[in-house]
Structure 1
Amino acid sequence: MGLSSEISVLLLLFLTGLLISMVDSTTPGCRLINEEDGKDVPDDDHKGYNKLKPLVGKRFSTIDVEKEYRYSVGICRDAVDGYKNVGVLQESLKDKRRHVIGLYNSTQIMSGNDWVMIEYWHGEKYHTHCNKEEKKAVIIIICDPSADDENGVDILDEAKAKIGDCYYLFEISHKAVCGIKSSSKALSFGSIVLIIFASVVALYLFLGFLYQRFVLHAKGMEQIPNYSFWQDFGNLEADGCNLVCRSMSNRNSAPYKGIGDEQLEEDLDRDRDDHLLPM
């Protein structure tokens, strides 16, 4: 009797865990299309859903410009009580007829740094438009640091004037999807060159210092690698600048002398000294 009771308890725990795993999916509230098909959910969908979590469970509503329809939008919840799994519901203001635009248990989510896009699929079929395909709602939630739940939702377009892939386009501005923008920018080529140059100079000074101190046993300023060269470096630069940049020469040009002038001067000097010779 004791063994059978233990088996019953284990079986009950197993069934409970299985039920929890079925209810608590990887994306509670919204059920992604890939989950319906038993496929792996892309990382982008998980990332978008995590960004959407602050808005999950909220409801928004709006009336179109023509004042014909009211649209109720639920973020991963029933847009209106009594309509299970309906993410977007359209209601005629004239006859109060309602139409399902999209289901949140057939969802696709995409996101960027400051936006999230939700697609609710498997709505009611069109009667004449879009090749009688199922309706679909596309909800774009954009970042607005000053916007909250009171801003509501706007319907931007009903793209039904085509053969297929029709949709209702909604926009919500909300601060919940505002990402943290990085102020850092990629380093330019010049910055990379300067960093490499500074690293090479630092390595040269460090290794040179160690060599001068511990191998050559230098002291004081002599520990600086190639100290004698750096002492003369300023003079070498000045000499180079003087040679390349200055056009005037400090040397005085020699006076012009004709051919044989040297011999003539020697003869004149000899004549001047003749009277000094003894007779």
Structure 2
Amino acid sequence: MRKWKIFGKNFTVSNKGLTYFIGICSSPNNLANNTAIIQKENNSSYVLGKLDQVNFVRGDNWILLTYRNGDPYKNICNNSTRSASIMFVCGQNRTDPTVLQAHTDTDQHCDYMFELQVSEMCPAVEKNKKLSGGAIFLIIFFSIAIAYLVIGAVFMHIKHGARGLEHIPNFEMWRKLGNSAADGCDFCCRCERSSPRAGYFLDESGPDMRDDDILSP
């Protein structure tokens, strides 16, 4: 809960003529007596729970925080002490808590219940990732290439009775293109140069000649 943005904040809620001052793990109005929730009605005020008397229950998608040991009732609810619970649920509206249950003259509950929406409790939603231009180009390219090969292979098999590598459409053209590319790569990337053999010298203007031929009369 310490990671929540509402941790340590105070809320003021009015409902049916009653006003509630609620602290989330803190005392409302900077009180120093461990008070967690205060109820005010006309000129009367009651403590509904204290910070040192807490019960914490967690479910799959909710958390229930209960403050106990508030002011005792008089002649009702077996003179028990007041208690109030805050139900934290997933939601984006965290302006004010909602009063779900309260003790009134017409609806005499002995416990109070509030609900507060917390965005941090909502499951993470993955954002739709858009494909980049390069990815779209590759998808289109490979789709066209696969369609070309499949349709061409079927055509070559049915029309010309092709076998083996002959199923590849325009096979001769692709083979010549591959050989030309290999020759060009070999020409550009070759590091070694041919050296003259023993007994010969390299003459760019004419054929190689043996030393014996040069020394002969």
Distance 2:59 2:6 in 1: 16
Partner of 2:115: 171
| Percent of aligned pairs sharing the same letter | 22
- Counterpart selection for 2:20 from 67, 71, 75: 71
Contact 1:55/1:176 (<8 A) preserved: no
Q: Comparing both structures, which one devotes a greater share of its residues to strand?
A: 2
Q: Comparing both structures, which one devotes a greater share of its residues to helix?
A: 1
Partner of 2:8: 57
Equivalent residue pairs, number: 123
Deviation of 1:56 after TM superposition, in Å, equals 2.2
Partner of 1:81: 30
1:136 aligns with 2:87: no
Contact 1:115/1:178 (<8 A) preserved: no
5+ residue gaps, structure 1, are 1-48, 182-279
Deviation of 1:176 after TM superposition, in Å, equals 2.4
Deviations 1:66-92 (A, max 9, x none): 22x100110110022235211110112
CA-atom RMSD in angstroms:
2.4
- Counterpart selection for 1:157 from 101, 123, 144: 101
5+ residue gaps, structure 2, are 126-217
Partner of 1:98: 45
User: Cα 1:71–1:87, aligned 2, differ >3 Å: closer, same or farther?
Assistant: same
Distance 2:112 2:78 in 1: 16
Contact 1:109/1:116 (<8 A) preserved: yes
Q: Give the residue type in structure 2 aligned to 1:117.
A: L
In structure 1, the residue corresponding to 2:120 is in which secondary structure?
helix
1:123 aligns with 2:74: no
Distance 2:119 2:89 in 1: 8
Partner of 2:166: none
- RCO greater where, 1 or 2, for CA within 8 Å and sep 6 or more? 1
Deviation of 1:128 after TM superposition, in Å, equals 1.6
In structure 2, the residue corresponding to 1:80 is in which secondary structure?
helix
